Amino acid sequence: MACDQISLCSSTFKYISNTIYIVPPIPNSINHTSNIPFIYSPTMAKLLAIFAFCLLPALSIAATLTQSPFRLKGRVYCDTCRAGFETSVTRYLAGAKVKVECRDRESLNLRYTLEAVTDATGTYEMTVNSDHGDQKCECTLVSSPDPECKEPNIGRNRATVILTRNNGMNQNARYANAMGFLKTTPLAGCTELIKSYFAEDI
């Protein structure tokens, strides 16, 4: 059978019927007396492509597992004026309990949860080791250490957090909006204080 030969780097490439045979040079050794061809064909190319396609997801998962954990931080306060937002007389709560929950976006089934307690500055911090790109995550209030300020402020009792790097956010630190409880009885002077915040709108 006729064939074409191309010499490159002391090796010989033979093209026969849509198949490439790579014939290496004969080593200078008495133990090697014949050439052993390496056969490359379109079928082999397809097999290599399938293998790479199956391997990439595994490599992606491994990379995710080796990434640094997220450091989730936030604060909890007592709204001493029942204003619905933080004011100059807001008091930050030490010993308040919070939790983060991640739920499936479609079924809303709980997939992950973690609790934390605030420090003397009303700040909590959690270490989240896994990526939750396919889930909806929220921080929520659990309990207040102050019996006079234990009513969750609806609308400020939870905060959405992003716990994934799939959106281009590569930093480890993640921050949740401050969450608050309402004081049972507002402090004296709160009416005037709240009015001062809206003085320009009057």
pLDDT in tens, 134-165: 899 999 999 999 999 999 999 999 999 999 98
What pLDDT score does 68 carry?
85
pLDDT in tens, 184-195: 999 999 999 999
> φ and ψ at 195, to 5 degrees?
-60, -35
What stretch of H or E contains 137? strand 135-143
Task: Return the closest-CA partner of residue 145 out of 185, 193, 95, 199.
Answer: 95
End-to-end CA distance of the chain: 98
Band (62; pLDDT cuts 50, 70, 90): very low
Q: pTM score, two decimals? A: 0.65
Task: Return the closest-CA partner of residue 154 out of 56, 79, 91.
Answer: 79
Rounded-to-integer distance, Cα 188 and Cα 132, Å: 45
Residues in the chain, overall count? 202
Mean pLDDT, all residues of the chain: 80
What pLDDT score does 40 carry?
55
What pLDDT score does 168 carry?
77
**Amino acid present at 94:** A
What pLDDT score does 161 carry?
95
